[in-house]
Amino acid sequence: MARGPRYSRFPAPVALELQNALNAIIDELVSESERVLDLIKLDYQALVRDRALSFANRHLGLDRIERALEELREKLIAVTERIGVYNAIKKVTELAARKALKDIESDIKRVVRKPDLTLIFPDKAIRAISEARIRATVSTVKTIPVQFHEALVRTIYDAATAGKSYADLAKDIRAIYDTTRARAQTIAIHELNDTYSEVTRQRHKEIGIQHVRWLIAKDDRVCEICRPMDGERFRVAELERRGWPPRHVRCRCTVIADEEELKEIFKK
């Protein structure tokens, strides 16, 4: 029977360098935001405290808040340029790709005695996958400050409309910080899993594998979406339609080649 999932064999610190780089970006986003929130604090408090403010004073207060938030947007976008994450993304992506290739070779050696590994094709397609994954992840990282700013602006205006105190607004904004940090962790893990899956899929295609078995992580964190699929045999063509792992955010599933097919392909 197939062994445990490959995801569990990733060393814990694999995505840590990328996660640390993303956390450095978020620290800067938070720092820039806190400075602007201090600037708009008096205007915000006046708006929610005194509904009898004259039209001119209310408009002036809103104007200052809007101007400060627009300037903040430009500063937040500049953060990702100042704190580069390209090298960390490249390192994680290449490590995941190498791990996938090594695991497939181990699978072959496990079921085939003295396999002819020249049947494994050159790595040009694998390099293309890695480069595409790097570009995609860089683009994703660049959306962090934009989405962070959008959430910040929406929260400030919703709070002002509802007449929330500045203390309550500060709590809502801290929740945005926490959500953004959680997203950064998800990006780091997803890059690892997605690259691993893409390289596994491409290598199986090159070898000529037509069937694979689905493996779950086999612990209490496995979701109800994936649990019923453990050990199931799928045609590769079917997974091309239904989707390969990861099936969802933080999915830890993987696939391995059908053993009988490996023996047939690599038999002497």
| This prediction's pTM | 0.80
Name, in order, each residue with C-beta under 8 angstroms of 204's C-beta and a sequence gap of 6 or more.
104, 212, 236, 255, 257
Query: Comparing C-alpha atoms, which of 242, 201, 181, 196 is closest to residue 21?
Result: 181
pLDDT number for residue 118: 61
The per-residue pLDDT for range 184-236, each reduced to its tens digit, is 888 888 888 888 888 888 888 888 899 999 988 777 778 888 888 888 999 99
For residue 173, what pLDDT band results from cuts at 50, 70 and 90? very high
Task: Tell me, yes or no, whether 80 lies in a domain.
Answer: yes
The per-residue pLDDT for range 14-44, each reduced to its tens digit, is 678 888 889 999 999 999 999 999 999 988 8
Task: Tell me, yes or no, whether 34 lies in a domain.
Answer: yes
Task: Tell me, yes or no, whether 250 lies in a domain.
Answer: no
Q: Which residues are bridge partners to 255 per DSSP?
A: 214
Mean pLDDT of the chain: 84
- Whether 180 and 26 have beta carbons less than 8 Å apart is answered as yes
Task: Tell me, yes or no, whether 228 lies in a domain.
Answer: no
Task: Tell me, yes or no, whether 185 lies in a domain.
Answer: yes
Task: Tell me, yes or no, whether 31 lies in a domain.
Answer: yes
**What value does the CA radius of gyration of the chain take, rounded to a whole number of Å?**
25
Number of domains in the chain: 1
The per-residue pLDDT for range 116-150, each reduced to its tens digit, is 666 565 567 778 888 999 999 999 999 999 999 99
Name, in order, each residue with C-beta under 8 angstroms of 160's C-beta and a sequence gap of 6 or more.
44, 47, 48
Say which residue the tokens 């408009």 belong to: 59
Domain that holds residue 31: 6-208
pLDDT number for residue 11: 54
